[in-house]
Amino acid sequence: MRFTSVSRSLLAHSLVWIALPYGLLAISLVVAGIVIYQQTVTALLVDRDRQLAVLAADSVSQGLEGYARVLEALAGNAELLSDSDAVRRAAIASTSSALGIFNAGVALTDENGVIRTFVSNEVTSALPLISNQDFFQSVRSQLAPSFSGVVTDPLTGEPMIIIAVPVFRQHAAFAGALLGAVQLRTSALKNLVNGLVVGASGSAYLVGHRGRVIYHLNAALIGVDFINRPSVSQVVLGRSGGLVWQVPGGESYVDGYAPISIAGWGLIVQESWEMAAAPTQAHFALLVLIAIFVTIIAMSLMWFGMRQITAPVQSIADQTTRLAAGDTIETIQHSQVKEVDALGHAFTRMAEQIATYREGLRRYVGAITESQEDERLRLSRELHDDTVQSLMAIGRRIEIYESSEQDAGRLAQLQELHAMVDDTVKGVRQISRDLRPLILDDLGIVPALRTLVRAAREGAGAVPLAKFQVSGDQKPLAPEQELAIYRITQETLNNVRRHAHATEVEVSLTYLPHAVNLDVVDNGIGFQAPPSIAELAQSGHFGLMSIQERVWAVGGALTIDAQPGRGTRLAVAVPIEL
């Protein structure tokens, strides 16, 4: 028995339904650690390729410096400044190393970039056509070697690069530039890149300062614009680093990149992420499946366990809200948790006590309301039968005195007194009608409500567009129901006149098979309706509280829909006993 009690305790359920899932989540964290290990492997691959890119860029930079030094050595030959083209040609041709490296030719320009001499081992070359490119302007402005990006030979269609160095006269005066053109497909430049081993599937390539490929193992890609690749966009800005990126809808790659500062180029080391991480992929996939499975199981158990606790507690909370609003509540279901079950039983007992108290309160309110109406009826009859009759008799005596009075001053006073008596009679009659509407007793609820709506269009706070409509098959109501509906409408219209500042109000009476609904809707300033009817008195809405009491007295339901600036809707549903 003790074991059963302990097993149903909240602590036991917490251990079973919360601790166990958290244990499974701990296992998931271990699996997540393995996944993090995979990410670490990726980070190591990225760092490795970054370092390879830096080393390779340094190697290529040294190679390019060698190219530039060859041209600088040739540019120092004084015969290049000769006025004889033959002498200049001989000076260039005598340097076999230059013509061997610059397989697309060597050209000498004057200080304006115009070709003066051109020597090439090839039959055709485009060097004479490209002397005014940006790299020449760079040489002239910076007086230092300049390296072009990829230039397409307009004669052969071959991609090539051009290296330019300044030529000086005496006293370091700029005399022109010496240009060396290298066809990329057949140059020795590729050996600087092809010799770089990057994993089992990697490669390296060079890009120019605008992102076009200067050299690639795949010759078809030379000259292609790669500026949209993330590594290329970084390296052209002079940055070095590494990253993982994915071709849209395709394969992922690990890139390392480093700038070649001397030329303004960049070197990219690239390898397939899938192939580089292949040794760990089989284990990685298995661990991912395990992690997903364990997570699903843990979350399912946690959800189910918490439902065992939260569902009945939520049910009690919902019923508490209904109880506070005065609605009928449902029976709290039995719970597997001992403490929650005890809470449900306590709530049920409390709800029964509140229901008993409310029923007594409703009977008390009904009795008070009935007593008030009886007293109003008595006062109304006394005012109508005694006070009004007495005032009318006084009025007739004043008329007699008026007919016999000859003095004009006294006659005016009598006439004034007579008018005051008439006004008093009208006021007392209005008080009598307000205390007990005789039209309700004589003609019924519909004419009485129509009279109330008509009166709302007149006097202080009048609502010009006051409307009344009836729908459905009219059924006889109990006298107390008719009186409650009348008083509710009367109080609501008084509130509209006093507080709403409305220009339009509509009163609707709808007969349904088992109920009659009263709706009063205005377009006034509205107000913030309290969340519970019980808070009406605390909020100072005593008129609404009296309406609620009358609704309770006839077993009806009241709904108030109001927001500041959006008007107010009051709806009352009164059951009809057939």
Quote the mean pLDDT of the chain. 78
Domain count across the chain: 2
pLDDT reading at 430 higher than 60: yes
Last residue of a domain, one of 290, 308, 334: 290
Give the Cα separation of 368 and 372 in Å (integer): 6
Report the pLDDT value the prediction gives residue 1, as an integer from 0 to 100: 46
Residue 420, in any domain of the structure: no
pLDDT reading at 117 higher than 70: yes
Sheet of 557-562, strand order: 465-471, 504-511, 515-522, 568-575, 557-562
Residue 281, in any domain of the structure: yes
Q: Which residue has the higher pLDDT, 1 or 88?
A: 88
pLDDT reading at 38 higher than 70: yes
Element (H, E) at 273: helix 273-276
The token duo for 151 is 């230039």
Residue 424, in any domain of the structure: no
pLDDT reading at 128 higher than 60: no
The token duo for 9 is 């305790």
Residue for token digits 């540019």? Answer: 75
The overall pTM is greater than 0.85? no
Residue 187, in any domain of the structure: yes
Report the pLDDT value the prediction gives residue 205, as an integer from 0 to 100: 86
Report the pLDDT value the prediction gives residue 352, as an integer from 0 to 100: 74
Structural domain range at position 27: 12-290
pLDDT-derived band of residue 571, with 50, 70 and 90 as boundaries? Answer: very high
Report the pLDDT value the prediction gives residue 550, as an integer from 0 to 100: 82
Residue 393, in any domain of the structure: no
- Residue 255 sits in a domain of what CATH number? 3.30.450.20
pLDDT reading at 434 higher than 50: yes
Rounded to an integer, the average pLDDT of 253-265 is 85
Last residue of a domain, one of 290, 309, 338: 290
Integer-rounded Cα radius of gyration of the chain: 51
- Give tens-digit pLDDT for 520-535: 999 989 888 776 665 6
pLDDT reading at 180 higher than 70: yes
Report the pLDDT value the prediction gives residue 127, as an integer from 0 to 100: 58
pLDDT reading at 576 higher than 80: yes
Q: Any idea of the CA torsion for 121, 125, 131, 132, to the nearest 10 degrees? A: -160
- Residue 511 sits in a domain of what CATH number? 3.30.565.10
Residue 130, in any domain of the structure: yes
Apex CA 109: angle with CA 106 and CA 110, to 5°?
A: 160
Report the pLDDT value the prediction gives residue 129, as an integer from 0 to 100: 56
- Give tens-digit pLDDT for 3-27: 455 555 554 665 566 666 776 776 7
pLDDT reading at 125 higher than 50: yes
pLDDT reading at 472 higher than 70: yes
Residue 315, in any domain of the structure: no
Residue 148, in any domain of the structure: yes
Give me the sign of the Cα torsion angle 273, 276, 282, 283. Answer: negative
Last residue of a domain, one of 259, 290, 321: 290
Give the Cα separation of 44 and 28 in Å (integer): 24
